[in-house]
Structures are given as C-alpha cells and as structure tokens.
Amino acid sequence: MAISVENVASTGKRRGRRRAVMSEINVTPFVDVMLVLLIVFMVSAPLLTVGVPISLPQSQAKALEQNNQPLTVSVDIDGEVYLQEEQIKLDDLVPKLKAIIQARGGKPDDLIYVRGDKKADYGTMMRVMGRISAAGFQRIALVTEVEQSGQ
C-alpha cells in the first residue's frame, strides 16, 4: 500500500489527517535568546567603560548623612572660606565647627551646606569638605544652581 509519487503530485493530497497550519510563533526560544543576550551585555558593559585617569586630591572625608539645622560654608573664586557670612581662615574652620557641635549638644548629625564658586579650585573645595568632616559633621550637602536651558 505504498503511495505513488504520481498520485500525490497530481492531486496534491495525502491520505489521512492533514495538520492545520500553525499561525502562532513559539516564544520560548525567543525569550531564551533574549535572556542570554541580556546576561552577556550585563557582564560585558562594565568592561567596556573606560575611566578617565586623573589624580584626585586627598581628603579626610567620612560617610555623610543629613541634619535639621543647616550651616553654610562658602568658598569664593579666590579660595577664601566663609562660615555663614563671616570670613575665616581654613585652619580655623575645624575648631569653629567643633565649637558649634558642642553648642548644639554634641550632635554632629546636623546638615551643613557647602557652596563653592564654579571657578574655585577643586583641591580647595576638597580640603574644605575634609575639614568639615574632620570637625565631626557627617552630613554635607553641595549647593548648586538649577541649570538653565540654552546656557
């Protein structure tokens, strides 16, 4: 009971049941391939990042947090340091900040704002932040202006 090639070719039909055409896409292999690609890119992306080799200044900074009564330390373009509105020497910053902590009950968890001119020296800014941290402040916030579009 073999089927002849001529009969199948001439009629185009086979004996028995005919499968219906499946119009659905099998999604499982697609998802498997996507997950493998995701893992490959997640592993390789950090390797593609090239860091800029720079010499960063040293600092005495510690972990930072936030407080409830903010102080402001400002650094102008000439590198002069101001505590609130009063100009002080950089060497006097730590004793004054420690005195403020003692006056507030010995809680160094107060927030202190650091404002710096955009043309101020980066090293000076880091020294100021290091002194603030050495004085016992753990929460330091950097103050910036909102960037205007088109500038």
| Chain segment 32-59, per-residue pLDDT in tens | 999 999 999 888 877 765 443 434 445 5
Going from N- to C-terminal start, the domains of the chain cover: 71-143
Predicted confidence (pLDDT) per residue in 84-96, tens digit: 888 889 889 999 9
Mean pLDDT, to the nearest integer, of 121-133?
90
Which of 9-18, 96-105, 142-151 shows the highest mean pLDDT?
96-105
Cα angle 80-109-70, degrees, rounded to a multiple of 5: 50
Tell me the pLDDT of the chain averaged across its residues: 75
| CA-to-CA dists, residue 13 to 22, 120, 148, angstroms | 18, 86, 74
CB 40 within 8 A of CB 81: no
Q: Measured on CA atoms in the order 56, 58, 62, 68, is the torsion positive or negative?
A: negative
In this model, does residue 118 exceed pLDDT 60? yes
* Cα–Cα nearest to 70, from 27, 115, 25: 115
In this model, does residue 78 exceed pLDDT 50? yes
- Does domain 71-143 bear CATH number 3.30.420.40? no
**What tokens were used for 63?**
């972990």
Q: Residue 131 has what pLDDT?
A: 92
